[in-house]
Amino acid sequence: MVSYPKFIWRMCVLATEGNWLFYAWMIGLTAVALVGVNAWAVQVTEGMGVTNMSDHVSWGLYIANFTFMVGLAAGGVMMVIPAYLYHNDDMHDVVIIGELLAIAAIFMCIGFVVVDLGRPDRFWHMIPGIGKFHFPVSMLTWDVIVLNGYLLINLHICGYLLYNRYRGIAPNPRWYIPFVFISIAWAISIHTVTAFLYQGLGGRPFWNTALLAPRFLTSAFVSGPAFIILALEVIRYLSKYKVGDGAIKILVNIMRVTILINLLMLVSEVFTEFYTGGSHTASAKYLYFGLHGYNALVPWIWTSVGLTIIAAILLLSPKVTQKPVMLITACVFAFVGIWIEKGMGLIIPGFIPNTLHEIVEYLPNSLEWRVSAGIWAAGLIIYTLAIRVAMPIFSGEVSLEKDTHA
């Protein structure tokens, strides 16, 4: 335990070192994050009226991003199953990348929720005991519990493994294996609970479908592996650490299945809406074809469908793991396609038409884009720093032994 402070200090120093590309990346991200912080400060001071949200569309880009990021956090754990359940050695060394993604994603989720609150200063009202925590009736309270729990589990696992690797000690399975298995089940729960937030609202027929939670899970298991593959490619090409093909092959295999299931569920939703008809399907009509001349979201959703289909076709090709350009394209397309589908393509149409069947459209304004970009930048900062610290330790390049003899 004497070496723990030394470990933390070493992490801090290591996190601020790198080549010119690293510094450029981090400074750029910091600049974007500061722009976002400023935009948020303006929002808190002047009120949320500076966004484009209204009493008709009262959740917008922030909650759209939040929903997507919960999926990303859940998907980050997708590598854990083959690594630990099936003792796949290829995965074992890179599984930390997925768990670190989960940590960064949860921080972003918290960020998006905080910027969406009208009174972030009253955050303490949610703390059980001091405030009033409306558990178990309010699904938001379940979400608070599962998201924070997931963060703590992953912080523990990653911290424990990194600390022991740094010290050169084999980690004691008793202190992390149970948590890993918990995190697998917990990852399913975070996204199911988030889906339940929307699913349970009878007044919003676009969301009030049993298929929402399964759709959330499959899209999470597309976006998560896509991002991890992109991260692995970045590590492979922009740093000196070797990343084997095995992990990427497994992730591609996962995506091949989940992207098709995702498309199938989309078809199922679309069929139910358009075959039945009636005024409960007005939101779907608005999203896909426009309603009464209002069609702001139509290009978005068709772009998403197109990107997802192209990504599916690319992924299904046997050559995708040998051609990096094809792989990266497929992953970027899948990621963006899911972002649109789950974010703008799910949250906004739930509010259009509103509960009185009126149409008031919404597209985010520049302040909302700035705040969101700021949180994305902050999340990427956290993730970059985490990888910057984890890779040297896991490859043995940085260790306590080397530091004490340096």
Partner 1 sequence: MKKPPLIGFFAAAIAITALAAAIWIFQNTFSDFDSQSEREAAFQAEAHYGVEIMGAPTTPTVLTDALDYHGRPAEIACATCHTTRTPAATRQSEDLDAFHQGLIMQHGDLSCLSCHNSENYDTLKLADGTPVGFEDTMLLCAQCHGPQSRDYRNGSHGGMVGYWDLSRGPRQRNACTVCHDVHAPAYPQLMPVFPPRDIIPPKDTVHSEH
Partner 2 sequence: MPEDNTKTTSGISRRTALKGVGATLGAAAFAKAIAPLTTWAKDQSVDEFLQNHYRELTPDQMKEVIARIEAETKEDYGADVTIKDSKAQAGVKFAYALNLSICVGCRKCAKACHVENNHDRATSNSYIRVLEMKKGSLDMAHGRADYSGPVPKSDSFYMPVQCQQCDAPPCVDVCPVEATWKEKDGIVAVDYNWCIGCRYCEAACPYHARRFNWSKPEIPAEEVNPVQGYLSNRIRPQGVMEKCTFCMHRTREGKMPACLEACPTGARVFGNILDPESEIRWVLENKRVFVLKEELGTKPSFYYFFDE
Minimum CB–partner distance for residue 106 and partner 2 (Å)? 18
Pick the closer one to partner 2 by CB: 48 or 73.
48
Residue number, 351 or 394, with CB nearest to partner 2:
351
Which parts of this chain interact with partner 2 (CB under 8 A)? 13, 16-17, 27, 30, 34-35, 37-38, 41-42, 44-49, 53-56, 58-59, 113, 116-123, 125-126, 131-134, 137-141, 144, 197-198, 200-204, 279, 282, 350-351, 353-358
Min separation Cβ 192 and partner 2, Å: 17
DSSP code, position 170: P
The residues of the shown chain that bind partner 1, judged by CB under 8 A, are 49, 52, 54-56, 293-294, 296, 359-363, 365-366
Pick one of partner 1, partner 2, none as the site partner of residue 46 (Cβ within 5 to 8 A by kind).
partner 2
Rounded Cα distance, 71 and 359, in Å: 29
Note the helical H segments in 76-130.
80, 89-92, 95-116
Cis peptide before 136 (omega within 30 of 0): yes
Q: For residues 172 and 279, which CB has a smaller minimum distance to partner 2 in the complex?
A: 279
- Sign of the alpha-carbon dihedral angle for 91, 315, 101, 23: positive
Q: Is 285 exposed, middle or buried (0-12, 13-18, 19+ CB in 10 A)?
A: middle
Cα-trace Rg, the chain? 22
Nearer to partner 1, 57 or 77 (CB): 57
Distance CA 389, CA 14 (A): 6
Q: What is the DSSP letter of 83?
A: I
Q: Decide if 179 contacts 156 (C-beta within 8 A).
A: yes
Residue 361's binding partner, choosing from partner 2, partner 1, none, with beta-carbon cut-off 5 to 8 A by kind?
Answer: partner 1
In the complex with partner 2, which residue's Cβ is closer, 41 or 85? 41
Residue 294, strand partner residues? 291
CB of 170 vs partner 2, minimal distance in Å: 26
Nearer to partner 2, 10 or 191 (CB): 10
Q: Taking CB within 5 to 8 Å according to partner kind, which of partner 1, partner 2, none is near residue 52?
A: partner 1
How many C-beta atoms lie closer than 10 Å to residue 77's C-beta?
A: 27
> Out of partner 2, partner 1, none, which partner does residue 204 contact, by CB within 5 to 8 A per kind?
partner 2
- The nearest distance, CB 323 to partner 2, in angstroms, is 34
Find residue 12's DSSP bridge partners.
none
Least separation in angstroms between CB 52 and partner 1 = 5
- Contacts for 130 with CB less than 8 Å, ≥ 6 apart: 124
Least separation in angstroms between CB 284 and partner 1: 19
**Token pair of 399 as six digits:** 């260790």
Please, what is the minimum distance in Å from the beta carbon of residue 29 to partner 2? Answer: 11
Which option in partner 1, partner 2, none does residue 137 bind, with CB closer than 5 to 8 A by kind? Answer: partner 2
Report the C-alpha gap between 60 and 340 in whole angstroms: 12
Q: What is the largest CA-CA distance in the chain?
A: 74
- Contacted entry of partner 1, partner 2, none for residue 30, CB cut-off 5 to 8 Å set by kind: partner 2
Residue 2, Cβ neighbours under 10 Å: how many? 5
Q: In the complex, what is the shortest distance from the CB of residue 290 to partner 1, in angstroms, rounded to a whole number?
A: 11
